[in-house]
Structure 1
Amino acid sequence: MILHCMKGTTWEERKHKPAWGNRNIRAHGCIHCSTIEYFWRVAPNFKDMEEELVLLCIDENKLKAEVRYEDEDNCGRFYPHVYGLINNDAVIAVLPFTKDEHGNYVKNQELAHIEDK
């Protein structure tokens, strides 16, 4: 399973479509995702977002688009990038992006059994 974070309002627009991601692909060439183990490393990028965020839990095996694990920053960690639209039947859960009182990401209880790396 891989994660993709987005605004809750954006998910509301996209959740009834068969697939989505054209805006992401136009802007970045792919749809950036994360493994659960590394999500805590990218979560600070969303700290100052005022809007409610959600985490899409995506089953890679159900994706029709290609997923490539890439180390764009040469940091030794490989993150999943989806090269094509995400078909909504691959989204197996939608979780809230939870924060503590300081605005820091708090790992969802549903993901707590997976160790951070």
Structure 2
Amino acid sequence: MIYHITTPADWQAAQSSGQYQAASLTSEGFIHCSLAEQVERSANLHFAGQRVLIVLEVDEQKTQSKVVYENTSGGQELFPHLYGPLETAAVVRVLPLESDAEGRFHFSV
């Protein structure tokens, strides 16, 4: 499984079309995803200041878009990137992700 962090509103909008397309698909050519152990760190790094998010648990075998494990920021850690839209049918669970009183996100599967 791979995971994608988004807002409830963006996920709700995707359900009517059957596909989710993050802004990064247009700007970078892929949708950023994480492994389970990367979600919490990614949320705290990229979504600081937000209170309520969701995590889409994606079965990469069910998506028609190509998944590539790579590092595009110059480090050594590999992250899954989805090169195309995410079909809503490939999402097996939608998990809440809320920040605590200090504004930090905590995630476990």
TM above 0.5: yes
Counterpart code for 1:94:
V
Counterpart AA for 2:62: K
Cα distance, 1:20 vs. partner?
A: 2.5
Is there any run of 5+ residues in structure 1 with no aligned partner, and where? 112-117
CA shift digits 1:39-91 (9 cap, x unpaired): 222111112125x3111110111110000001112321100110011111100
Per the TM alignment, residue 23 of structure 1 is displaced from its structure 2 partner at its CA by 3.8
Tell me the C-alpha RMSD between the 2 structures: 1.5
Q: Give 5+ residue unaligned stretches, structure 2.
A: none
TM-score, normalising length from structure 2?
A: 0.89
Distance 1:46 1:15 in 2: 22
2:3/2:56 contact within 8 Å kept: yes
Report the counterpart of residue 69 of structure 1 in structure 2. Answer: 69
Residue 55 of structure 1: aligned partner: 55
| 1:12-58 deviation line (CA, Å, top 9, x unaligned) | 111232222164311221111111111222111112125x3111110
Q: Where in structure 1 do 4 or more consecutive aligned residues deviate above 6 Å?
A: none
What count of residue pairs does the alignment treat as equivalent? 108
Calculate the TM-score normalised by the size of structure 1. Answer: 0.83
Cα distance change, pair 36–87 in 1 and its aligned pair in 2 (3 A)? same
